[in-house]
Amino acid sequence: MLLFLQSYGPNSPDLNPITYKMLGVMQQRVYEMQIHNVDELKQRLVDVWSGLQLSVVYAAVSEWRKRL
């Protein structure tokens, strides 16, 4: 999924609201506990991304659809 998002520009009207929501959720979860080094940050990012519930993705898409 991350590679898919990288293929779009940062101003893509299709993905920007969804990306914004997903990054906000990830940021909140990643920084719930203190991070001591870059390797820990990398691992936390992978763990949070792999642990995201599909309902979070559906909620982001649902919010995007309201803007149409």
pLDDT at position 5 over 70: no
Total domains, the chain: 1
Q: How confident is the model at residue 67 (pLDDT cuts 50, 70, 90)?
A: low
Q: For the segment 33-61, what is each residue's pLDDT rounded down to a tens digit? A: 999 999 999 999 999 999 988 888 888 88
Q: What is the pLDDT of residue 1?
A: 45
Q: What is the pLDDT of residue 56?
A: 85
Contacts of 30 (CB under 8 A, 6+ apart): 41, 44, 45, 48
Report the amino acid identity of residue 21: K
Full domain range(s) for residue 12? 2-66
